[in-house]
Amino acid sequence: MTGSLSNMMLVVSVWALPLLIAITFHEAAHAYVAELCGDSTAWMLGRVSFNPIKHIDPFGTVLLPLLLLLVQSPFLFGYAKPVPVNFRNLRNPRRDMVLVAAAGPGINLVLAALAGLAFHVVGYVPGEAGQWLAQNLVNALLINVLLAIFNLLPIPPLDGGRIAVGILPRVLARPLDRLEPYGMVILLGLIFILPLAGIGVATQFIAQSSRFVVQAILHLTGNA
């Protein structure tokens, strides 16, 4: 019983830390770029912060990852409270919406690259501490890439959907923007329901794209 509990605590520690960092930086980046572009909503609410407590969503940050761990899911995933952005306050709403949306996935890719570079330090950390660090870095790389790829799907309210609305011609952007109220239902169908019917197009796309990006980062950081 004690060994099982210790193993569970180890698993939680090597997954929870990189996940918490990934989603905290993701949301803080949105808030910071929104402030730079003229909207102070997130700033006034204290969301331009690397304090995880400011961004924690009880279900997405705590319960969902724990459930995935309990069912021994092959991957861990979670999300934070979305950063509120008043697009009418942005200096150039269409352009700045793209910048604000891209900031989240962008910082996740930066964190993934930093994790790849940090692999070179693992050999200097002795014993179990080195193993623990290595597991954290591997998970940090995987989680940040997965979070970036998932959020870049062109479905509002995901970042990729907002980017698409901002760069597409208005004749195409308007109908896509109208999908936002149904976006989470669409995602639920693509990620969870369709795979049960043997149609895993979205999950395969996310998996293959993530694998490609991970390999590219490993190559660029000298780990290939």
pLDDT tens string 23-40: 999 999 999 999 999 999
- Rounded Cα–Cα distance for residues 158 and 5 (Å): 36
pLDDT-based confidence at residue 10 (cuts at 50, 70, 90): confident
What pLDDT is stored for residue 15 in this prediction? 84
Q: What is the pLDDT of residue 26?
A: 93
Per-residue DSSP letter, 63: I
Place of tokens 């004690």: 2
CA atoms within 13 A on the CB side of 188: 4
- The per-residue pLDDT for range 118-171, each reduced to its tens digit, is 999 999 999 989 999 999 999 999 999 999 998 999 999 899 999 999 999 999
pTM above 0.85, yes or no: yes
**Confidence band for 112, pLDDT divided at 50, 70 and 90:** very high
Cα 12–chain centre separation: 18
Catalytic residue ranges: 27
- For 75-106, the pLDDT digits (tens) are 566 677 888 889 889 999 999 999 999 999 99
